[in-house]
Amino acid sequence: MMIEIATVVLCVALIVALGIERSKRLKTRKNLDQETGELKKANTVTRAVLKNVHAYVLLIDSDLKVLATNYYSRTETIETSAEKRIGDLLRCSNALSAEGGCGSHVMCQTCPVRQMLNQSFEQKSSFIDFEASLTIQVSEKESKVHDAQLSGAYLLINDKPHLVITIHDITRLKHTEEALQEAKEKAEHADRSKSAFLANMSHEIRTPLNAIVGFSELLVVAKTDEEKRQYLEIVKTNNELLLQLVNDILDISKIEAGTLEFVYSDVDINLLMSDLEQLFSMKVSEMGVQTKIVRDTVSSPCTMYTDRNRLAQVISNFISNAIKFTPDGIVRFGWELRSGSLYFYVTDNGAGIPKERVSTVFDRFVKLEKGQNGTGLGLSICRTIVEKLGGKLGVESVLGTGSTFWFMIPFQPKVKPKAISEKQVETTVNDVVEATDNHKPSEGKKTILIAEDMEDNYRLCEVILSGTYHLLWAHNGEEVVSLFLQQQPDLILMDLRMPEVDGYEATAAIRQLSSSIPIIALTAFAYPEDRKRAAESGFTDFMTKPVSAKLLLERLASLLS
């Protein structure tokens, strides 16, 4: 009986023990399944991170062998079973060109990346943000330099040293930084240039203005006619200098803004050169210098499609400079046809230019002699004009012997149709000539209607014209139309910018009533596009302020004759 009881107890104990063991196994398996699931989730997250992180991640050993990496998933390339070191994997051009791969090329001994990795293993330390340039082979025939930023975390795996490296390609970032630095330097240079420009302009404007204001006051107290004549001559000279300065500043501002305008037309080159010869012959006569102006004539006709005013501006600037430095010599100018281009030149036998300064004469604010009038902007503007016309320019000079300034522009002989109305009256160099002193009305005084909102400007016209013409004054465009209907004037001098109704609107209204009355735009707008717009708006002629009294009288006489 005792044996049976003991047997039963043993069986029960065995069953209980087996149940406990089974329960343990079931619990262990459940934990294992749970841990396996969590591990799978962690691996999925890790793979997603490695695939999408904007860097290469490499696990390497102390021999720089790559044990694991996201390189293949990042580059979508097929992973091979071949053993690779870091240089082999990243396609280092040195590693690929050496038979033994990474570490066998002679340049590997000085490789900054290899040196940094070896140092990290030796010191058992990590590093961050190490920058280096890597030459990567992108194809069999092409290699590119990439800027890289590396960080490395030192760790032991199975008691063996390893590094987990992240490599960021910062080439684009570097280029952006360089572009920003360049932009910053340009902005700083522009700011310095602006300050220098304003300082120069302040000085250059105040110089003639001082003479104009000072001698204008002295005219009031001058006692003799000779004194008045001398003072007036000084005021006139400085007026011309100030006007040239303003024109140069306007051109420079257009150049800086990239809006320097060109109005193309068919230009008779021989006629242009003849006009310039007449103009400068008169100028040197007025200046009282002994400079002789000589034009080299060309018998063959030449017409080309270009901007007449800009072409004349460059040649005129060259001639004006030559006269300054040749007060008693010869200034010779002309043109030649050379290899499909027109070659223009201005030669003098004056002071010449020192050899060390020849290369700077076309820079801004360069003056060869401080005592000479001028802003130092003219030749710089000439360079821009010639380059915009598709040409080039230069200077040849010998100190004490003379200089030759020249430029070449492509020759375009074809006659092209005019883009504007035939009514446009081009203002050319030969327009600026001396009128006769006597402007007598033919039969009685003809009536001129002056549209001008500024009283001082009207008073100036009144002083110039009242002895020859009967004048009417309109303060704005609306009054112009009204007085035209009431008085039927013989000619209208029209300002363009006026309150209420401007000159363009007033002219459009008058042209609906009369197509024959001469309307002259007399305005401070001085650019070719303003002249073109005026011609297309029905104006008969175009004159810019400030205007010469003799030139105004001559123009009116020619239209009213």
pLDDT surpasses 90 at 489? yes
User: Looking at residues 403-431, what average pLDDT do you find?
Assistant: 57
Mean pLDDT (the chain, rounded)? 81
DSSP 84-145: -BHHHHTTBHHHHHSTT-TT-SGGGGG-HHHHHHHHHHHHT--EEEEEEEEEEE-SSS-EEE
Amino acid at 208: P
Do 136 and 68 lie in a common domain? yes
What is the distance between the alpha carbons of residues 103 and 109, in angstroms, rounded to a whole number?
8
Tell me the sheet residues that pair with 160. Answer: 157
Q: How many helices (H) and strands (E) does the chain have?
A: 15, 17
Q: Which two tokens stand for residue 290?
A: 């002994």
Tell me the pLDDT tens digit for each residue of 56-85: 898 989 999 999 888 888 888 888 888 888
Domain boundary among 169, 202, 225: 169
Decide if 4 is inside a domain: no
**Peptide bond just before 546 cis, omega within 30 deg:** yes
Residues 272 and 229 in one domain: no
Regarding whether 287 and 244 lie in a shared domain, the answer is no
**Whether residue 378 has pLDDT greater than 90:** no
Give dist(CA 255, CA 253) in Å, integer: 5
Is 125 within the bounds of a domain? yes
Tell me: the pLDDT tens digits for 140-170? 778 888 888 999 999 999 889 999 999 888 8
CATH of residue 128: 3.30.450.20
Range of the domain at 132: 53-169
Which helix (H) or strand (E) segment is 528 a member of?
A: helix 528-536
Residues 283 and 351 in one domain: yes
Judgement on whether residues 212 and 137 belong to the same structural domain of the protein: no
pLDDT score, position 48: 62
Sign of the CA dihedral running 298, 303, 304, 306: positive
Specify if 74 maps to a domain: yes
Q: Is there a single domain that holds both residue 269 and residue 405?
A: yes
What integer is the mean pLDDT of 87-96?
86
Question: Domain check: are 273 and 404 in the same one?
Answer: yes
Q: Tell me how many domains the chain contains.
A: 5
**CATH at residue 382:** 3.30.565.10
Indicate whether 368 pLDDT > 90. Answer: no
Instruction: For residues 296 and 205, state if they share a domain.
Output: no
CATH of the domain at 516: 3.40.50.2300
What CATH number did the domain enclosing 238 receive? 1.10.287.130
105 within a domain of the structure (yes/no): yes
pLDDT confidence of residue 278: 87
H helix intervals, 345-487: 378-388, 455-465, 477-487
Q: How is residue 66 written in tokens?
A: 């790559």
Q: Residue 442 — pLDDT band, cuts 50, 70, 90?
A: very low
Would residue 214 count as lying in a domain? yes
Same domain, 458 and 468: yes
**329 and 366 assigned to the same domain:** yes
User: Do 270 and 390 fall within a single domain?
Assistant: yes
Q: Tens of pLDDT along 234-277?
A: 888 788 778 877 887 778 777 777 777 788 888 899 999 998 99
Cα 234 from Cα 212, distance rounded (Å)? 8
Mean pLDDT of 217-237: 85
Of 196-210, 389-403, 474-488, 499-513, the one with minimum mean pLDDT is: 196-210
As to burial, measured by CB atoms within 10 angstroms (0-12 exposed, 13-18 middle, 19+ buried), residue 344 is: buried
Query: Is residue 445 in a domain?
Result: yes
Q: Are residues 475 and 439 in the same domain?
A: yes
The CA-based dihedral angle spanning residues 16, 22, 27, 31, taken in that order and rounded to the nearest 10 degrees: 160
Last residue of a domain, one of 198, 229, 257: 257
What confidence category does residue 229 fall into, taking pLDDT thresholds of 50, 70 and 90?
confident
Q: Is residue 156 part of a domain?
A: yes
Give me the residue label for tokens 């499909």: 340
Query: Residue 416: inside a domain, yes or no?
Result: no
Beta bridge partners of 492: 449, 519
* Range with top average pLDDT, 12-16, 49-53, 194-198, 469-473: 469-473
